[in-house]
Amino acid sequence: MNNFKNISNEQKIYELSLIWREAEYNFAFWNDFDKSFDWDKEYKIALDRVLKTESLYEYYKELMKFISLLKDGHTDVWFPKEIYESKDYFSCLPIYIEYIDNKYVITNMDITLKEKIPRYSFIKNINEINIDEYIEKNIYPYIWHEKKDSCADQVIVFLLRGKEGSVEKFVISDGTKDYKVELERKFSLANYAYEKENLKHEDVNTLFSSKSHSIKFTKDSIAIITIDSMMNDELPIEIFNNYKLLNKANGYIIDIRNNSGGNSQNADSVASLFIGNTFNNDFALHPIHIGVYKALGKFNNLNKMSEEEFKTKYKDNKNYEFYEKMYKICNHDFYEDRDHKTFINNVPGKLDGTIVILSSCKTASAAENFINVMRYNSNAVIMGSASYGSTGQPLVFDLESGGGFRICTRKSLALDGSSFINKGFIPDIECSLSIEDYKNSIDSVMNNALSFIRNKISE
């Protein structure tokens, strides 16, 4: 293969087949697909495409295209390290893009482009193609994209990265005027024109800060707890140690807008400060495959029946439950239910007061599990925008060719039994940052949360 170590056809077939197999037997969301979706047929199509690839990069894009058919944010493929480090594939355009107001906005650029690109201009066209059409054709086939704002960071990587020296033609707009600009990818880092600015709200005192979380107090003792990851296992210990400090607050803002998840046990520990040490923390379905039931089901042609046909034929059968189990296993629809109550040790006490949780499309995985627990076990109000829309237990594999993949094995539900996958948890109060907020360096969402708590306190 060009540029990288050779991958034999045998290895290509094996790795694609491994993805097919692990999804076939372990993917948690098969019952969300109708019978018109044929995983075996898609495997054969992907096999033909994979064998025609002539570079490691093309090969991995075909694996991505195959697995993205499963439409799940915890089911994906990633490139080998050598591709991420290659100037042929991961050189970068000299701009910084963020997804704001449903637009791809240029918030920074190399200093040499400062006069050519108005800051906070948004992309309209790439190479004479409308930005939405460009993404639909060139990027979405390779990534999970069922929730457009949640996949924006992945889209931006694909937009920015490519071969060193390659040029893209952009039409951008500041809202009143269009600009045309050609940008060339470079392997060296851009010398950005602007310092990164944190969005501002009223003055606060930082009383605690570590890698796990920070605590700030307003002048009227509203605690702002910022947790950007649930991965840090020091979080439970450190936040428990801050109980006495937090107990002095009149209200609580828990900011998890940039929390991409981690360990749900850590999230439960934070929740226990507001709920108590025992609460329902999980409602999920785990797929179960039993070979003998599949064999019996196929023998009785249950795999070829619609649900209506099955019920009509077997509804009066005295062994209905037995046949139903065969039918469900044949159709990837047999699950173990998990309705779980957790117990958290050494909770120092329970915090009382109005609670606002700030959410965004970047609030994912274990952070969404935190929203789930708090929404149904406390008086917390969710504010911001809908969360990421994906959580679960991924089954992870490294591939011999250098990359890897994961398959989501757990179908998580909200504690009331509703689905939030590919939708996110919808906030009680919806608000989001605008381009004007960025221009003025104002965190309007935080300001809304502070106003809400103060109104509650004054009632």
pLDDT tens digits, 37-54: 999 999 999 999 999 999
Which percentage of the chain shows pLDDT scores above 70?
Answer: 99
At residue 225, the pLDDT reads 98
d(CA 309, CA 149): 40
DSSP letter string, 261-311: -B-HHHHHHHHHHHH-SEEEEEEEEEE---HHHHHHHHHTTGGGS-HHHHH
Q: What are phi and psi of 121, to 5 degrees?
A: -75, 155
At residue 2, the pLDDT reads 45
pLDDT band at 459; cut points 50, 70, 90: confident
Q: What's the mean pLDDT in 241-249?
A: 98
At residue 246, the pLDDT reads 98
CATH 3.90.226.10: which residues of the chain? 205-285+341-389+424-458
Q: Answer whether residue 298 shows pLDDT above 70.
A: yes
Please write the tens of the pLDDT for every residue from 2-35: 455 669 999 999 999 999 999 999 999 999 998 8
Amino acid at 98: E
Q: Answer whether residue 84 shows pLDDT above 50.
A: yes
Q: Answer whether residue 401 shows pLDDT above 80.
A: yes
Q: What's the mean pLDDT in 122-130?
A: 98
Beta strands at 95-100 and 222-226: parallel, antiparallel or unpaired: unpaired
Whether domain 1-75+392-410 has CATH 3.30.750.44: the reply is: yes
Q: Answer whether residue 339 shows pLDDT above 90.
A: no
In the numeric block, which tokens belong to residue 118? 């108005």
Of 381, 372, 380, the closest CA to residue 425 belongs to 372
Q: How far is CA 447 from CA 96, 218, 360, in A?
A: 26, 12, 15
Q: What's the mean pLDDT in 118-137?
A: 98
At residue 43, the pLDDT reads 98
CATH 2.30.42.10: which residues of the chain? 91-184
Which percentage of the chain shows pLDDT scores above 90?
Answer: 95
At residue 209, the pLDDT reads 97
CB 231 within 8 A of CB 437: no
Please write the tens of the pLDDT for every residue from 358-393: 999 999 999 999 999 999 999 999 999 999 999 999
Name the CATH superfamily housing domain 91-184. PDZ domain (2.30.42.10)
Of the chain, the end-to-end C-alpha distance in Å amounts to: 69
* Cα radius of gyration (the chain): 25
Q: What's the mean pLDDT in 195-199?
A: 88
Helices 264-275 and 366-377 cross at an angle (nearest 10°) of: 20
Higher pLDDT pick, 198 / 38:
38
d(CA 380, CA 373): 10
pLDDT band at 198; cut points 50, 70, 90: confident
d(CA 243, CA 274): 11
d(CA 213, CA 169): 42
At residue 1, the pLDDT reads 41
CATH 3.30.750.44: which residues of the chain? 1-75+392-410
Q: What's the mean pLDDT in 230-251?
A: 97
d(CA 326, CA 319): 11
Q: What is the pTM of this model?
A: 0.94
Choosing among 1.10.760.10, 3.30.428.10, 3.90.226.10, 3.30.70.100, the CATH entry for 205-285+341-389+424-458 is 3.90.226.10
Please write the tens of the pLDDT for every residue from 310-335: 999 999 999 999 999 999 999 999 99
